[in-house]
Amino acid sequence: ETFEEISLHAEQGSITGISHTADKLQHQAQKYALREVDKMASCVARAAEAQDQKAVSNLMGELEATVVQTGKALRDVYKHSSTTLDDA
């Protein structure tokens, strides 16, 4: 949800919105110990704070890939743990 919000701000060219939402995503990632998402959100936030639109654009693809990979990994872990519990 927060990633979609960052993407929307990027489409609108709102560097302030990107910065604010990337900070929000970074805090959520820290809360759940999602280090890779935390790291990429931090990079996007720093680029936005520096008003570097080109860097933000370049980093958005990496952030999206990281969010997708992390989500997939969490689903796989949940699926595996549910299967293990059902077998017990």
Reading the chain (88 residues) residue by residue, the pLDDT tens digits are: 788 898 899 999 999 999 999 999 999 999 989 999 999 999 999 999 999 999 999 999 999 999 999 999 988 887 877 665 555 5
* Number of separate helices (H) and strands (E) present in the chain: 4, 0
Matching residue, tokens 């520096």: 50
Query: Looking at residue 33, what DSSP letter applies?
Result: T
- Say what the pLDDT of residue 81 is: 74
Matching residue, tokens 């077998």: 87
End-to-end CA distance of the chain: 35
- Write down the pTM of the prediction: 0.80
- Say what the pLDDT of residue 84 is: 56
Q: What residues contact residue 33 under an 8 Å CB cut-off, 6+ apart?
A: none
Query: Cβ distance 26 to 38 under 8 Å?
Result: yes
